[in-house]
Amino acid sequence: MHLTERQVADFQRDGCVFPIRVMSAADAAGYRRRLEQHEAIAGAPLQGNLRHKTHLLFTWADELVHHPAILEAVADVIGPDILCWTTNFFIKEPSSAGFVSWHQDSTYWGLDPADVVTAWVAFTDATPENGYMQFIPGTHTVDQLPHLDTFHRDNLLSRGQEIAVEVDKSKAVGIGLQAGEMSIHHIKLVHGSEPNRSPDRRIGFAIRYIPTYVRQTKVRDSAMLVHGTDEYHHFDYEPRPHADMDAGALAAHAEAVERQVKALYQGTDKHEFRA
């Protein structure tokens, strides 16, 4: 066990557990530096498709999805046989308008059953000022709620989807994290976040983990086995990158993202992730 019994009980009751220290602040700063080295060479912040399934592109991101402290904590809530389904960077630039509307992750993912969790790893501190994630405790046990697609420009979600019914924000709890800590949240938890009003970036790396028995109901999908064994073979396997953005990594990423876009944007005319 990496989590305490109390932390596992918190997750089961609230749909979220935090903070969980998984690395030092210095190590988190090291991951941020690797990301920003790439951005400096590219001449722009990580954008579009590169923000998604990023662990297929960079060896340091691959290292993170295999990080023992992260995986052991995740295994305490979903069991030892684990696939990494995807990763998503949630980067909020200093004093920027980007936000995340209230939503349930389960809305467009096509995964069944809903035994799916996100390990949200803080590369920087996450605070009220810089737009930390907020959630409504216990909402992971309610049914799927109706969502509206807004495609709002500043919304960081794929479709700008937001819950179409009233969310009782008076019950919201903020997930304050220090760099190197993470939270774990359930796929059906109602959550969202406000813009970054601070002078520094807020960087979170969301790793989506599923037990091997979960199915993708929309497309033939791919994922990476990161812990334990897979008796089900519901997903094709994605290769680990050998070098940052080499030809093999770029090809594997492109193929995996194409499948994911097909699932997430089903019923729309979109063929890639929004910038």
- For Ni ion, the binding residues (CB under 5 A) are 105
Judged by beta carbon, residue 206 or residue 252, the one nearer Ni ion is 206
Shortest CB 198 distance to Ni ion, Å: 21
Cβ atoms of residues 87 and 35 within 8 Å = no
Q: Closest CB to Ni ion belongs to which residue?
A: 105
Judged by beta carbon, residue 105 or residue 125, the one nearer Ni ion is 105
Q: How far apart are CA 205 and CA 31, in angstroms?
A: 10
- What does each C-alpha distance from 152 to 93, 121, 169, 270 come to in angstroms? 17, 25, 21, 14
Looking at the chain, list the stretches that DSSP marks H as alpha helix, in order from N- to C-terminal side: 5-14, 25-42, 59-65, 68-78, 106-109, 247-264
Q: How far apart are CA 47 and CA 273, in angstroms?
A: 9
Quick one: CA dihedral 88, 91, 96, 100, positive or negative? positive
Shortest CB 105 distance to Ni ion, Å: 4
Judged by beta carbon, residue 60 or residue 186, the one nearer Ni ion is 186
Instruction: Give SS3 for 87.
Output: strand
Judged by beta carbon, residue 117 or residue 252, the one nearer Ni ion is 117
Between CA 245 and CA 253, with CA 248 as vertex, the angle to 5 degrees is 70
- What does each C-alpha distance from 179 to 35, 127, 254 come to in angstroms? 15, 11, 30
Judged by beta carbon, residue 190 or residue 223, the one nearer Ni ion is 190
Shortest CB 215 distance to Ni ion, Å: 20
Q: How far apart are CA 155 and CA 272, in angstroms?
A: 16
Shortest CB 115 distance to Ni ion, Å: 16
Q: Is 5 exposed, middle or buried (0-12, 13-18, 19+ CB in 10 A)?
A: exposed
Cβ atoms of residues 182 and 18 within 8 Å = yes
Shortest CB 28 distance to Ni ion, Å: 21
Judged by beta carbon, residue 58 or residue 90, the one nearer Ni ion is 90
Shortest CB 20 distance to Ni ion, Å: 18
Shortest CB 189 distance to Ni ion, Å: 8
Judged by beta carbon, residue 105 or residue 181, the one nearer Ni ion is 105
